[in-house]
Structure 1
């Protein structure tokens, strides 16, 4: 993208930092900055306009393409036509998303930019768009972001690309390609010490977890059938802590070793996990029926303690699905259930401390690619889609009140939230 120099003169004024403010707004918190009398030389990308603050945007995958919504005003910022089923993934830089499309990941620019300048930021907005940046990947699958690196997994050949997150907009220019062996529905994470956590398997089964550092295997286990649902927890004194869901109880990787979490049920699948960077607890689903038809509808969730390597079950008395899990700003467990409530769970005790009515009653469909409710959390705000009423609901996670309901033209299949900073 072409850039040009813009010399910006600023006198004593207040710069508004990005954050979510009150009075039924999903705009972001404000803070003052005294510029005094000086000038800034700022590189501004063509097509961007400087603004005093950034408003969070929701990118929605719907039938026929991608819709970007301003979460403060509820207005549609832009629509991009695109055929097929589109999966959305955070790219990790608070600006871009990666769209899983068949045999490639394509970079989507949300148009929100925060440029650091000394002790403050300058903010810019532009039109959201699918860029020309693409990462070839046979059967593009999961994307993970951790410690400044974004990892893109290709299910079709079992390879993955590791990219410095700050260089994601440069495409494959700075990507490192790694191989796991055979094709499988897998995942990989680059850890803070440079080692890599990844799955191994083949198209019909997967059960191997491995951590490598260069050519050296740091740790390996073959006892994770149906591996799925990686999440990172709060690091300990020895480094990163990673949890992986299996069909016979999850694994915790820490201190250079794999630790199996004891479970009471022979089949106990936790394949969807939600971690928090400041919490040793990981929230997960918990299924016990491998023969459920068409799908199992669990009412219990798991709190996986990575320090004690233990698991606690929480009964919600209403079912949920894989898009129902999230974490609050203080590490609270958040679960959207069939009764339309957003359940708030104390991560330490397992107590359900609040139930916030957010949408009407619903039920998971047999086809997971059909529109259904989605929970996403950004900062101290929760965003929930209602596929029946075609709404996007905003919840303040400090007061646990619904602050906004945004009407949509189409039911949503996938959603990601971007703040720009």
Structure 2
């Protein structure tokens, strides 16, 4: 099957952000005075910036001290994703993917148009944006902004047969692996090889109902979550891995590119209220096995609360306020670090609740109840720095080279 491809120079001038149904957007104020009271108990080793969204704005923090470098007006709810270049953050707004330069810092006028901006995936020098509203994948060089933010860079696009909440990744050899779905549901994925003006279908699978999320493990093994297990793509072929429960949903994959084992969030009750989860899926992409591990009673988390870090371990920020260290090979909890106060699960997934992002040995943790952000050394559990913001933190992204 041939599917058309095109090169685009996506340009958009942003005079002001458009209105959301629930709030009026403002304009970025590069001259806003820094705020927040930061304290540090020990020197950190990170270089770069951390971005935190809050209702109506975004704060840029120093990665070492967590001092607020600058703040920018934005929409009532925005999502933040690292672009992968150690500097840029993709801010999802009602108009598309807006570029935040954390080094200047500046909320730029550069926007990749999208009717419903969704997932951002970084892999092997490519950053891939997915527009749920049109099913369009935009493939960009991760270093596209090395020359500055004067214009939007040129990229390659692929549009799915139908719009859906999807995700795409480009592998080292140029293969595009992307989800398949429409307005009635999501069913699987397809692998496409690029040619001059089209894509050739190389492999496909329709065995992944409710496909969601993506991760790349060791050896470019790509994993997607399904409502009854997971879908693996490696060596040019798809393999379905089945969950032990009839309904066994994995919606997010937490991976390390130096480990074959994927840690996935796991839910086995489609009627369960709330967003707290009490088990994880462990997928060995080399052995092609799928196992579910129940967590101790005190460990409960949401999709924002797992990250991979030092030693390829998994770090779970639990409702007891502690980071629980999980060994993916066994599913055992090997250590526990107290960080924040105990918290309850959100009423809606968009509601502010604790989140964790890891860069190197350092985890950045939000504590919405205290309007705070913390930096934690994952090798010792020591809280290296904390800042109290003037706003309640929600989304979190790290831009560190």
TM over 0.5: yes
Q: Deviations over 1:6-40 (max 9, x none)?
A: xxxxxxxxxxxxxxxx9612343xxxxxxxxxxxx
Residue pairs, 1:10-409, within 5 angstroms: 24-28=42-46, 55-111=47-103, 126=104, 128-168=105-145, 169=149, 172-214=152-194, 215-235=199-219, 240-293=220-273, 295-316=274-295, 317=297, 318-409=299-390
Per the alignment, do residues 23 and 360 of structure 1 end up closer, same or farther by CA in structure 2, a change over 3 Å counting? closer
Mark the runs of 5 or more structure 1 residues left unpaired by the alignment.
1-21, 29-54, 112-125
Aligned-pair RMSD on alpha carbons?
A: 1.6
Equivalent-residue separation in structure 1 for 2:69 and 2:207 (angstroms) = 47
Q: Deviations over 1:339-395 (max 9, x none)?
A: 111110112122110011111111221211111101000111011111111211221
Between Structure 1 and Structure 2, how many residues are aligned? Answer: 353
Q: By how many angstroms is 1:329 displaced?
A: 2.1
Mark the runs of 5 or more structure 2 residues left unpaired by the alignment.
1-39
Equivalent-residue separation in structure 2 for 1:288 and 1:171 (angstroms) = 46
Normalised TM-score (structure 1): 0.81
What SS does the corresponding residue of 1:209 show, helix, strand or coil?
strand
Residue equivalent to 1:45: none
Residue equivalent to 2:13: none
Equivalent-residue separation in structure 2 for 1:400 and 1:289 (angstroms) = 33
Tell me if structure 2 keeps the 8 A contact 1:58–1:69. yes
Q: By how many angstroms is 1:409 displaced?
A: 1.7
Q: Deviations over 1:20-71 (max 9, x none)?
A: xx9612343xxxxxxxxxxxxxxxxxxxxxxxxxx43211101121111123
Equivalent-residue separation in structure 2 for 1:159 and 1:352 (angstroms) = 40
What SS does the corresponding residue of 2:144 show, helix, strand or coil?
helix
Tell me if structure 2 keeps the 8 A contact 1:135–1:171. no
Q: By how many angstroms is 1:312 displaced?
A: 2.6
Per the alignment, do residues 296 and 100 of structure 1 end up closer, same or farther by CA in structure 2, a change over 3 Å counting? closer
Residue equivalent to 2:21: none
